[in-house]
Amino acid sequence: MLIRIAPPHLLRETEITPPEVYASRRRFLQQLGLAGIALAAPGLGRAQSPGPGALKISTRRERAGGEKPNSFEDVSSYNNYYEFGTAKDEPARNAGKLKTRPWTVVVDGECEAPAQVDIDSLLAGALEERIYRHRCVEAWSIVVPWLGIPLGDFLKRFKPTSKARYVAFETLYDDQQMPLARFSGLQLPYREGLRIDEAMHPLTLLSVGMYGRVLPNQNGAPLRLTVPWKYGFKSIKSIVRIRFTEKQPATTWSALAPDEYGFYANVNPAVDHPRWSQSRERRLGELFKRDTLMFNGYPEVASLYSGLDLRRYY
Partner 1 sequence: MSPARVLLCWRLAAWTLATAPLLQLGWLILQGRLGANPVEFIEHHSGQWALRLLLLTLAMSPLRERLKRSEPLRIRRLLGLWAFAWACLHFSIYLTFDLEFSARQLAADLIKRRYITLGFAALLLLLPLALTSTRGWQQRLKRRWATLHKLIYPAALLAALHFVWLVKSDLREPLLYLALLLGLLLWRRPWRVILRARKQPVIST
Which residues are documented as binding site for Mo-molybdopterin? Answer: 79, 82-83, 136, 171, 219, 224, 235-237
Q: Which listed range, 21-29, 85-93, 99-107, 221-229, lies at the site for partner 1 (CB under 8 A)?
A: 85-93
**Binding annotation:** 79, 82-83, 136, 171, 219, 224, 235-237
Q: Is 31 in the site for partner 1 (CB under 8 A)?
A: no
Q: Is 256 in the site for partner 1 (CB under 8 A)?
A: yes
Which of 118, 175, 259, 272 is close enough to bind partner 1 by CB under 8 A? 272
Which of 53, 54, 57, 86 is close enough to bind partner 1 by CB under 8 A? 86
Q: Is 42 in the site for partner 1 (CB under 8 A)?
A: no
Comparison of 204 and 254: residue with beta carbon closer to partner 1: 254
Residue numbers 142-201 binding partner 1 by CB under 8 A: 183-186
Size of the site for partner 1 (CB under 8 A): 28
The residues near 166 (Cβ < 8 Å, ≥ 6 apart) are 193, 194, 195, 196, 244, 245, 246, 247, 248, 249
Nearest approach, Cβ of residue 72 and partner 1 (Å): 11
CA distance 144 to 142: 6
Closest C-alpha to 219, from 166, 159, 146: 146
Residue numbers 106-145 binding partner 1 by CB under 8 A: 138, 140
Comparison of 128 and 138: residue with beta carbon closer to partner 1: 138
Q: Is 287 in the site for partner 1 (CB under 8 A)?
A: yes
The residues near 70 (Cβ < 8 Å, ≥ 6 apart) are 142, 143, 144, 283, 284, 285
* Alpha-carbon dihedral sign for residues 227, 233, 237, 242: negative
Tell me 70's DSSP state.
P
CA distance 57 to 77: 24
- 295 exposure class (CB count in 10 Å sphere: 0-12, 13-18, 19+): buried
Peptide bond into 102 cis (omega under 30): yes
Comparison of 185 and 307: residue with beta carbon closer to partner 1: 185
CA distance 83 to 173: 8
Residue numbers 59-78 binding partner 1 by CB under 8 A: 70, 73-75, 77-78
Interacting residues with partner 1 (CB under 8 A): 70, 73-75, 77-78, 82, 86, 88-89, 138, 140, 183-186, 256-257, 272, 275-277, 282, 284-285, 287-289
